[in-house]
């Protein structure tokens, strides 16, 4: 059985970056959940997972050039192919001025707007205060709904005070809310009513939907930029 491909996109600008740290914790939690038997859909089972984290700060110049010329450089093209070819995506951005960062948005602007249709996506963000957490629902979620991705209902936000104060406990608690995620019928995309059905109807064993519905069963918290 081929391993699942899980890609995390981090738009952190610093080095080190708390946004990257959040991306790492989310991918680690997902891998642990899959390894402990949480990746086999409604019937349980384990599934190997390949993880890749893409740092957008390293691609900033390529992204700007692509916006101007319409042509991606080799590194950017490879990153785009990794995202579009993934079985699941974790998207993490710092919150600037009540929204995602310009670098984060620019990266998804240069991806074909049909490339993420039906792809499970976990959205997460970091910021200096919990007051900015609404940006997840008012900015990030609409972006991926527009792209017709299958956005996990539970988003993850980490403010400065969240670090070292029980974030891993909250990570474990995400398993319940997102365990039933799976792609809806294709007709749902045509009318814009993308939503997460439950496990009432089984997915084909070994299918992408069957395995990815649990790929984001755990998350965590972080702050910074």
User: Helix (H, G, I), strand (E, B), or coil: what is residue 159?
Assistant: strand
pLDDT per residue of the chain (225 residues) written in tens, 0 to 9: 788 899 999 999 988 888 999 999 999 988 778 766 665 554 456 678 889 999 999 999 999 999 999 999 999 999 999 999 999 999 999 999 889 999 999 999 999 999 999 999 999 999 988 888 989 999 999 999 999 999 999 999 998 777 665 544 444 544 444 433 444 444 343 344 344 333 333 334 444 444 444 444 333 333 345
Q: Determine the pLDDT at residue 128.
A: 85
**Greatest Cα-to-Cα distance within the chain, rounded to the nearest angstrom:** 48
Nearest 5°: the CA angle 82, 84, 87 is 85
Cα separation, 146 vs 157, in Å, equals 21
Q: Determine the pLDDT at residue 42.
A: 46
CA-to-CA separations, 206 to 1, 31, 42, 180, in angstroms, rounded: 8, 17, 12, 16
Give me the phi and psi of 191, to 5 degrees please: -105, 5
Which domains, and CATH codes, for the chain? 4-212 (3.40.50.360)
pTM of the entire predicted model: 0.73
Q: Determine the pLDDT at residue 41.
A: 52
Q: Determine the pLDDT at residue 165.
A: 53
Q: Sort strands 99-100 and 88-96 into parallel, antiparallel or unpaired.
A: antiparallel
Give me the phi and psi of 140, to 5 degrees please: -70, -50
């Amino acid at each position: 059985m081929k391993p699942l491909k899980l890609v995390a996109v981090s738009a952190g600008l610093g080095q080190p970056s708390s946004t990257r740290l959040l991306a790492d914790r989310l991918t680690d939690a997902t891998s642990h959940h899959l390894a402990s038997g949480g990746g086999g859909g409604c019937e349980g089972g384990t599934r190997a997972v390949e993880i890749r984290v893409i740092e957008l700060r390293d691609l900033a110049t390529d992204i700007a050039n692509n916006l101007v010329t319409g042509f991606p450089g080799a590194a950017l093209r490879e990153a785009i192919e990794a995202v579009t070819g993934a079985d699941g995506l974790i998207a993490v951005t710092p919150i600037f001025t009540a929204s995602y960062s310009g670098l984060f948005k620019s990266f998804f602007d240069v991806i074909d707007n049909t490339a993420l249709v039906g792809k499970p996506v976990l959205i997460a963000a970091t910021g200096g205060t919990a007051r900015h957490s609404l940006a997840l629902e008012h900015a990030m979620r609409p972006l991926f709904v527009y792209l017709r991705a299958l956005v996990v209902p539970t988003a993850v936000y980490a403010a400065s005070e969240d670090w070292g104060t029980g974030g891993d406990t909250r990570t474990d608690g995400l398993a319940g809310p997102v365990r039933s995620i799976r792609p809806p019928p294709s007709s749902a995309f045509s009318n814009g009513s993308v939503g997460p059905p439950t496990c009432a109807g089984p997915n084909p064993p070994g299918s992408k939907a069957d395995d990815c519905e649990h790929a984001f069963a755990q998350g965590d918290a972080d702050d910074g930029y």
